A and B are shown apart, each in its own frame.
Chain A
Amino acid sequence: DAGVTQSPTHLIKTRGQHVTLRCSPISGHKSVSWYQQVLGQGPQFIFQYYEKEERGRGNFPDRFSARQFPNYSSELNVNALLLGDSALYLCASSLGEKLFFGSGTQLSVL
């Protein structure tokens, strides 16, 4: 069975641009959550979606938004990119309270 898949694996953007990151959960998992991980830190919670509804939101500005589709895949959108948005963006699907992570999208903002 396929695990959580994320695309793209790497991305380079410039300040002010917009980015869309994509995630496909493990088959049968209805919940998807997004995390930002800066080097040397633990993942920081951004959003959780369940059955297309937002269930939780972390302490991130409104430039960050997300959605979940009927097939449970998800997109994370970030507008007006800042240098500080450079990080590894991880998606996780969950069954109950256990998270299964994708390998992430490494975003570099120049």
Chain B
Amino acid sequence: RKEVEQDPGPFNVPEGATVAFNCTYSNSASQSFFWYRQDCRKEPKLLMSVYSSGNEDGRFTAQLNRASQYISLLIRDSKLSDSATYLCVVYNFNKFYFGSGTKLNVKP
């Protein structure tokens, strides 16, 4: 079983739409959680950390459910520039585990 699982998509949405991505992780002892964004042929970049209480950064909201071992990312009012692959990342015991990524295409 993979450490981190994501729906690969692609999610094709119009500008202005709200879109949600989900991710599950297998190790209940995992310590920290993140969403990274990766543009085509570029390196991943940190989008936001994910906290148990949920956290928001502008149009982006991340949630963590430790009981269900589930992480989510909500993007409101999608922009063309949000088109990218979103990687769910789990940190435990000095190792970072990446999901395969969910591809988002925002169309005009």
Contact = CB atoms under 8 A, between A and B. Distances in A.
Contact of B94 (A56, A99, A102): A56
Contacts of B94: 48, 55-56
Interface of A: 33, 35, 40-45, 48, 55-56, 58, 90, 97-104
A58 B100 contact: no
Chain B, interface SS category: strand
Contact of A58 (B42, B87, B95): B95
Contact of B100 (A40, A55, A98, A103): A40
Chain A, interface SS category: strand
A45 B49 contact: no
B87 A103 contact: no
Interface of B: 4, 31-32, 34, 36, 42-46, 49, 87, 89, 91, 93-101
B49 A98 contact: yes
A44 B98 contact: yes
Given A40-B100, A41-B100, A98-B49, A56 B43 contact: no
Nearest to A3: B43
A56 to B, nearest CB: 4
A99 B96 contact: yes
Contacts of B42: 103
A42 B46 contact: no
A42 B101 contact: yes
